[in-house]
Amino acid sequence: MALWARVGETPGDEIRRGKPVLNILIVEDEPLLADTLKRLIELNPLFAVTAIADDLPSAMEAVEERKPDLALVDLQLANSTSGYSVAARLHDRGVACLFTTGRAPGFPLPDLALGCLRKPFQEEDLVRALTEAEDIIRGRHKLILRPKLPETLQLYADSPQPDAFDPAWLPAVRRRTSFRARLLRLVRRPSGFRSAARAG
């Protein structure tokens, strides 16, 4: 029995607060986890869940009903369905995928997915993963202030690189010690190699 729930559509689903909404399809065979994911995603008004599917046929039916921008795909699904086959079919239909699985693939699969979010993950990790995926999908350039991704998130696709960071606009920081004091410190302190040679 395929688990597929269509989320109620309202006229304002596509644009909220003047910003486009990222429509997300959840492909997960565990109903409790799928419902939890849906609730976590919909806490952010800029994300909307279009449907929940548990295997390949229900995922394709959900895409026919309402095409999502992104699909969160588990790699082990119901009815002996592989998440890889779902991702390949969704890719053919122009839907970007992000794997959500307990055991991440051993190597990147940029042809099938944007990346992989390993379970278990925190709400902040999910929000960061969806934000990064949205930036890749929409082709946004951004200034990277925190280049480090959460430990549970691995991106396969190269996200648009921002313009090179130019520190020229930053004011120069004065050193606390003078050049002469730093030079004297280097001369007075013997290196470990010289100390070991004298001792021997």
**What DSSP character marks residue 173?**
P
Q: Is the pLDDT of residue 126 over 60?
A: yes
Question: To 5 degrees, how large is the angle CA 87–CA 90–CA 94?
Answer: 130
Residue range 25-60, pLDDT digits in tens: 999 989 999 999 999 998 888 899 999 998 899 999
Mode of pairing for the β-strands spanning 5-6 and 96-101: unpaired
Q: What is the pLDDT of residues 51-104, one digit of tens each?
A: 999 889 999 999 999 999 999 999 888 888 888 889 899 999 989 898 888 887
Taking only Cα atoms into account, the Rg of the chain, rounded to an integer number of angstroms, comes to 24
Would you kindly state where each structural domain of the chain is located, as residue ranges? Answer: 5-155, 167-199
Q: Give the Cα separation of 192 and 200 in Å (integer).
A: 12
The CATH label, of 3.40.50.360, 3.40.920.10, 3.40.50.2300, 2.60.40.1220, for the domain at 5-155 is: 3.40.50.2300
pTM for this structure? Answer: 0.65
Cα 9 to Cα 6, 48, 51, 174, 195, distances in angstroms: 9, 10, 11, 58, 76
What three-state secondary structure class fits 118?
A: strand
Separation of alpha carbons 40 and 43, rounded Å:
5
